Amino acid sequence: MAETDASRVVYFDHAATSWPKPDVVLDAMQRAMHDAGGNPGRGAHRLAVAASRTILEARGAVAGLLGVAEPRNIVFTAGCTEGLNVAIKGLIRRGDRVVVSSMEHNAVARPLNMLAAAGVIVDVVRADEYGNVDADAVELAVAERETRAVICQHASNVTGSIQPVGDLADIAHDAGAVLIVDGAQATGHLRVDVGALGADVYASSGHKGLLGPQGVGILYLSSDIDPDELVQGGSGGNSEEPMQPRLRPDRYEAGTSNTPGIAGLGAAARYLAVHGDELRVLEGELTSRMHEGLLGIEGLRVLGPLPGEERVPVISVVHERIDGDRIAFELDRRYGIAVRAGLHCAPWAHNTVGTLDSGALRFGIGYGLTSADVDYALDAMREICA
């Protein structure tokens, strides 16, 4: 098999998966496999206890990072998609009505499309052409009729727009609805305080801005809600009970946990607790530099908020003549630059900003990148687009 020379990659695909990871993440994963290799929550021997402790500590670190007072309200999942599925399918019933933004990823859109076919009413509130969701428009939609849930992303994986989820929490609660937030593009890149935000559900990926490995995510469930679990099975305790125990987080974590992944995510959360602010300042600087540079390239339309407006470090562009896939191919082949072209699993969002037919070319900025990398990518773009 041909080897990829990772040292020659200039990585701008952080919105899909962040890479590289801080060394502490890799070390924690190796330690979990080497020193804590038992089955967590199952058995009392030292390696099983060490595995349980690894998960306990990771849960505490993630809860601390995200302002969650009770760590048992953080459930470890396989990713943001699983967390959103638990919340959506565990809370919403036939005949219920959902108000959702038009910027959502397929991790929200597809479960909702399935529920809509089974008798759930799904009303979509259209965001503006920059990808910004208007809280007033959501409030108007919620006021139209009884609503079970409002669902909105915290930030867009297409335009980088940051949505007013704090306001949406008040709007949902005033109407007796719950707010479900998709935080996949926000955690790590924004200072997220889930407690202060007031969301009932906050789901995110471990492998993007949180700098953890793939295959692990987080799902925050407030103490006030009680969604059904999606999966039943072994929970490590109360084995005589015929039904899934209601104890959190065990209820939502049936089967053996991804201990190495969770260990990595825990280490990443501890890393971000110390270095997160510094990283966010750098990401802001690199994003502005990239944004201004892209705006100066003829033939490119830059999606999302305007310069000076807030965004997460995601910038997508469309060239008036050259296909995004073609540019992405050239960036990789000629320059070793990794980006993502296409629809980014978000046809609703692309439809909202008018790029459903063309797709877009996305630069995701994050840990490990420098201003020299941004300048290199901009030079490459100028050459390809000339």
> Interface with ligand PMP by CB under 6 A: which residues?
79-81, 105, 107, 153, 157, 182, 184-185, 205, 217, 345
Residue 188 CB, shortest distance to ligand PMP, in Å, is 12
d(CA 169, CA 178) in angstroms, rounded, equals: 8
345 is catalytic: yes
Residue with smaller CB distance to ligand PMP, 184 or 353 = 184
Question: Closest approach of Cβ 78 to ligand PMP, in Å?
Answer: 7
* Smallest separation (angstroms) from ligand PMP to the CB of 352: 13
Which entry of 80, 152, 345, 385 is annotated as an active-site residue?
Answer: 345
Q: Which residue, 59 or 189, is less far from ligand PMP as judged by CB? A: 189
Q: Which is nearer to ligand PMP, 236 or 261 (CB)?
A: 261
The distance of closest approach from Cβ of residue 364 to ligand PMP in the complex, given in angstroms and rounded to an integer, is 9
Which among 384, 373, 256 has a CA at the least distance from the CA of 319?
384
CA-CA-CA-CA torsion sign (101, 103, 104, 106)? positive
CA–CA separation, 114 vs 29, rounded Å?
Answer: 36
**Do residues 316 and 291 lie in contact, with contact meaning Cβ atoms separated by under 8 Å?**
no
Comparing CB distances to ligand PMP, the nearer of 132 and 185 is 185
Tokens 């100066």 -> residue:
296
Task: Report the length, in residues, of the chain.
Answer: 386
Encoded tokens for 72 = 């048992």
Q: d(Cα 238, Cα 343) in Å, to the nearest integer?
A: 45
Beta-carbon count within 10 A of 386 CB: 8
Half-sphere exposure of 19 (CA within 13 A, CB side): 13
Residues acting as catalytic residues:
345
